[in-house]
């Protein structure tokens, strides 16, 4: 997008266009839609290049020889602003204590998140 000054009126020129369409399954339809998506044309964003918790655990174990828990990974992700969904395993009381991730494990998980291009 760039701006042009023309007759003292600022106009916006848009150089990007997106299309959204609804595809539905038609029963006994004689017409159909073929869609071809080439993977090399897609730009992967940080949100789309997510690694699973198991992949993060495995990477940390292989590279740093540390065993991290899902709780450790969730704490580091939350600390880095990665919030995926509500946790359904919440403690029953508000004043319950959770073990904090050690600095060594936090550093290893942060490296894993950088490795997987999540931060």
List, for residues 50-70, the tens digit of each pLDDT value.
Answer: 889 999 999 999 999 999 999
H or E stretch covering 4:
strand 2-6
User: In this structure, is residue 27 part of a structural domain?
Assistant: no
Cα distance from N-terminal residue to C-terminal residue, the chain? 26
User: In this structure, is residue 40 part of a structural domain?
Assistant: no
CB atoms under 10 Å from CB of 112, counted, come to 25
User: In this structure, is residue 75 part of a structural domain?
Assistant: yes
Count of structural domains, the chain: 1
Residues 6 or more apart in contact with residue 99 via CB below 8 angstroms: 71
Q: What is the pLDDT of residues 75-84, one digit of tens each?
A: 999 899 887 7
Q: Which domain holds residue 72?
A: 53-90+98-115
Q: Which of 81, 98, 102 is nearest to 89 (CA)?
A: 98
User: In this structure, is residue 26 part of a structural domain?
Assistant: no
- Predicted local distance difference test score (pLDDT) of residue 35: 74
User: In this structure, is residue 18 part of a structural domain?
Assistant: no
What confidence category does residue 43 fall into, taking pLDDT thresholds of 50, 70 and 90?
A: low
User: In this structure, is residue 68 part of a structural domain?
Assistant: yes
């Amino acid at each position: 997008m760039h701006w042009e000054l023309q007759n003292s009126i600022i106009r916006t020129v848009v150089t990007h266009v997106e299309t959204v369409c609804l595809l539905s399954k038609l029963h006994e339809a004689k017409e159909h839609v073929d869609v071809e998506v080439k993977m090399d044309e897609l730009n992967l964003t940080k949100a789309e290049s997510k690694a699973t918790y198991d992949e993060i655990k495995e990477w940390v174990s292989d590279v740093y020889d540390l065993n991290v828990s899902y709780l450790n990974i969730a704490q580091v992700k939350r600390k880095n602003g990665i919030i995926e969904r509500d946790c359904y395993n919440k403690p029953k009381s508000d004043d319950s204590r959770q073990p904090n991730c050690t600095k060594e494990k936090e550093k290893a998980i942060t490296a894993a998140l950088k490795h997987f291009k999540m931060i």
